[in-house]
């Protein structure tokens, strides 16, 4: 198995890159947020997982070992293939996944394109069984309820999950804890 890859990016698309390693260009599928910060010519190091199918070998790369491990957990769920698992990690952070599983928030997974309520329920149940010992021993940072409300409001206004998360991260930590102020500050992200 190929555990990691390090090299120069020769090509970049929406969710894949070609990394030049020892005279060979290797295609690696990566989450969209990772792809967004990579440019052609950059040197990258990715933690990888090789998926073997009848149609070929597919290499998936991640910035962190935690992302790679969650990818492996996700593809072990019946009905979740590598493309959907990659879409989950493109839409949700590892911390968001942990939080959603811990709180059994099925609706978080339905924000991912291609995942319905039935599949989301299956994901939460499966991951809770797999991750419960890990989650019990970890201290998971809670997203303040006010931030959840701001996130829901931004999604309701038609922004994508990635856009809403970026806007939410732009809100100063010392901002007042009321919904109206935080939403206004988050919306300023889109005007700059």
Per-residue pLDDT in tens (0 to 9) along the chain, 192 residues:
788 999 999 999 988 999 999 999 999 999 988 888 899 999 999 999 999 999 999 999 999 998 998 899 899 888 899 999 999 999 888 888 888 888 888 888 988 888 989 999 999 888 887 776 555 544 444 445 677 778 878 877 888 877 888 888 888 878 888 888 888 888 988 886
- Contact of 78 with 122, CB cutoff 8 Å: yes
**Structural domains of the chain in order of their starting residue, each with its CATH number:** 4-62 (2.40.50.140), 65-137 (1.10.150.20), 145-191 (1.10.8)
Separation of alpha carbons 58 and 64, rounded Å: 18
Alpha helices per DSSP H over the chain: 32-37, 65-75, 82-91, 94-102, 106-109, 117-137, 145-156, 161-169, 179-188
What is the pTM for the complete model shown? 0.68
DSSP single-letter state for residue 173: T
- Contact of 82 with 55, CB cutoff 8 Å: no
């Amino acid at each position: 198995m190929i555990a990691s890859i390090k090299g120069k990016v020769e090509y970049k698309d929406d969710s894949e890159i070609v990394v030049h390693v020892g005279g060979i260009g290797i295609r690696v599928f990566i989450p969209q947020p990772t792809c967004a910060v990579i440019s052609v010519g950059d040197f990258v190091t990715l933690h990888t997982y090789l998926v073997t199918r009848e149609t070929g070998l597919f290499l998936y790369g991640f910035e962190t070992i935690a992302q790679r491990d969650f990818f492996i957990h996700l593809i072990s769920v019946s009905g979740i293939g590598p493309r959907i698992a990659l879409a989950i990690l493109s839409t949700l952070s590892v911390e968001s996944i942990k939080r959603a599983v811990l709180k059994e928030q099925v609706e978080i997974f339905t924000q991912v394109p291609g995942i319905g309520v039935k599949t989301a329920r299956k994901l939460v149940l499966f991951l809770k069984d797999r991750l419960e010992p890990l989650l019990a021993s970890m201290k998971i940072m809670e997203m303040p309820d006010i931030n959840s409300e701001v996130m829901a409001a931004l999604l309701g206004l038609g922004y994508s999950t990635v856009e809403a998360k970026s806007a939410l991260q732009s809100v100063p930590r010392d901002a007042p804890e009321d919904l109206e102020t935080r939403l206004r500050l988050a919306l300023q992200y889109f005007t700059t």
